[in-house]
Amino acid sequence: MIQDVIVVGAGPAGAACALWAHQLGLRVLLLEAASAAGGLQRRSPYRNRWLPGLQNRTGQAVAESLQDHLKDAGVPHHLNFTAAGIRRSAWHDGWDVWNERAVHSARYLVIATGSRPRDGGFHESDHVGIGPGLSMERLDVAGKRLAILGGGDNAFDQAGFAIQRGAREVHIFCRRAPRAQPLLMRQVEPRFVHVGPFHADARSMTVNGVPFDVLGVQFGFEACIPAGLSLPLRDGYLDVDRNGAVARWPRLFAAGEVTNYWHPCVTTSYAHGVQVAKSIQRELQLARPTVWAPCPAPLASAA
């Protein structure tokens, strides 16, 4: 069966896109490589301060709600489906997504594969965390000297969490002036913020030759772009127009943090997924014009 829309990725953007497409009456299939929906929210044990109406719920709780909503709404979706390839179909005017188990086809394809923390060549270990959330929370920082590499919001946020968990000292190393929000920067004393070139070595657990017990790599995120397609990029992310369409690729859209849209976060990912669903619905409506039957003439009244 050829779907109207296949959405690849069930994070906030992909889940919102699939939910809206389904409830707008389109035939949709949502494919997710992980064992549950939620994307990066599944890595976040922190209580939310930013999503309106969801105060104090953890990112993991938000992810569980996404999964429950998809199920309750009856959105067709497959978990544990890692796409081995994506291609323009050779036998219909649309797209195929496949792996070793199945091939799924649709007229439209939405890439919502999100982003992942940049590792900068480091590897997770008992003393090295990469990206915010569970990777850092699993580390024992109590009474330890911690070096955070990076100068953005997540670097200072993770420093604050480590201080709350009893870290003895938390130093931040950033090559350029910090670009974090002032609210987050106030969590770290200025004397522990080092701006300029640095060299970090995970084998010797040193930064600029100074020993540390724990390293936290907070170099931001990079797009998770499916292999096999030479897609247009802007600053490393899929380049889309205001509707979410990928230039020069008919019926291909992208939504959320895999794209170059402004200010990636959960809230904007939801909205972007909705916009893409509405854009596809509009294109399908234009391709399938509604035929209105003429109203029957009123019956003449009996004399």
Q: Which of 249, 245, 244 is nearest to 230 (CA)?
A: 249
pLDDT recorded at residue 227? 81
Q: Which of 153, 140, 154, 197 is nearest to 173 (CA)?
A: 197
CA distance 188 to 147: 12
pLDDT tens-place string over residues 108-139:
999 999 999 999 999 999 999 999 999 999 99
Q: Which of 36, 87, 35, 41 is nearest to 61 (CA)?
A: 41
pLDDT recorded at residue 301? 42
First to last CA, the chain: 56
CA distance 269 to 279: 15
Low-confidence residues in the chain, pLDDT < 50: 291, 299-303
pLDDT recorded at residue 24? 97
Q: Which residues pair with 302 in a beta bridge?
A: none
Mutual orientation of helices 59-72 and 12-23 as an angle, nearest 10°? 20
pLDDT recorded at residue 81? 96
